[in-house]
């Protein structure tokens, strides 16, 4: 404000001098004074705002180990369960609502609270421990678009047309069990096994989706 105050004081002194001159001069012109308007300083530069960092791209849901509906089906894995990893270590990293009992020690499973689907993984039952050999999502109701999905949005309930439209490399594979068949999608690497969509005769949607290194998914792994 200092430069503004000095301007006003200077204008006042100039006015008094001009009035004095006018009093001593009969032909003095009328003096018109103008009050200087204060000028603002340099405008503050606008600081561009930066968006806050995000953990996932817009529209994506970050995978939650406690909520398999957020899991993604990828080559060799479904959510945090990956083929070839230790069965025991994988189970230890999952929430306590996963079930693994002595009656079927080679399988661990989790059921949705509404009973709509089930997720399980297994190892070789002839060993005390070993690598994960398969991960499966099973459809237990008539609700569609539930559970883990692929990047294309495929999962239990997907039709053959859905799978073939999004994954044209899928091939038909016979099941050793009558009344069942598969669409198989090979992984990018041999260690990733393959992705299988299982269809029952007369049923439009896939009743299970499995990632496994086996020739075909295990049927009733805990029978």
Of 81-90, 138-147, 148-157, give the lowest mean pLDDT range: 138-147
Distances (CA, A) of 20 to 17, 25, 30, 37, 77: 5, 9, 12, 25, 97
Model confidence pLDDT, tens digit, residues 101-114: 999 999 999 999 99
| Share in percent of the chain as helix, strand, coil (round to 5) | 20, 25, 55
The domain defined by 68-212 carries CATH number 1.10.287: no
What would the DSSP string read from start to end of 162-214?
HHHHH-TT-EEEE-SSTTEEEEEEE-SSGGG-EEEEEEETT-SB-SEEEEESS
Sorting pLDDT into bands at 50, 70 and 90, what band is 33?
A: very low
- Dump pLDDT digits (tens) for 2-17: 333 333 333 333 333 3
DSSP 3-state assignment of 113? coil
Helix residue ranges, H only, the chain: 2-23, 87-92, 160-166
Spell out the domain ranges in the chain: 1-42, 68-212
Q: Span 61-74, mean pLDDT?
A: 93
Reply yes or no on whether the pLDDT at 165 is more than 90: yes
* pLDDT class of 27 with cuts at 50, 70, 90: very low
């Amino acid at each position: 404000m200092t430069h503004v105050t000095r301007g006003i004081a200077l204008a006042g002194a100039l006015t008094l001098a001009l009035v004095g001159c006018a009093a001593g001069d009969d032909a003095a012109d009328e003096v018109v004074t103008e009050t200087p308007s204060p000028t603002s300083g340099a405008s503050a530069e606008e600081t561009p705002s930066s968006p806050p960092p995000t953990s996932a791209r817009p529209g994506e849901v970050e995978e939650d180990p406690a909520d398999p509906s957020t899991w993604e089906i990828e080559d060799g894995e479904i959510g945090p369960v990956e083929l070839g990893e230790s069965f025991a270590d994988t189970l230890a990293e999952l929430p306590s609502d996963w079930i693994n009992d002595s009656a079927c020690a080679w399988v661990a499973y989790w059921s949705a609270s509404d009973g709509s689907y089930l997720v399980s993984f297994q190892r070789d039952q002839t060993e005390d421990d070993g690598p994960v050999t398969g991960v499966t999502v099973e459809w237990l109701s008539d609700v569609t678009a539930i559970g883990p999905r692929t990047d294309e949005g495929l999962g239990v309930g997907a039709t053959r047309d859905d799978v073939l439209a999004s994954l044209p490399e899928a091939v038909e594979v016979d099941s050793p069990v009558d009344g069942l068949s598969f669409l198989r999608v090979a992984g990018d690497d041999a260690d990733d096994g393959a992705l299988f969509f299982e269809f029952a005769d007369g049923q439009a949607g896939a009743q299970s989706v499995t990632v496994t290194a086996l020739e075909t998914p295990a049927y009733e792994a805990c029978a």
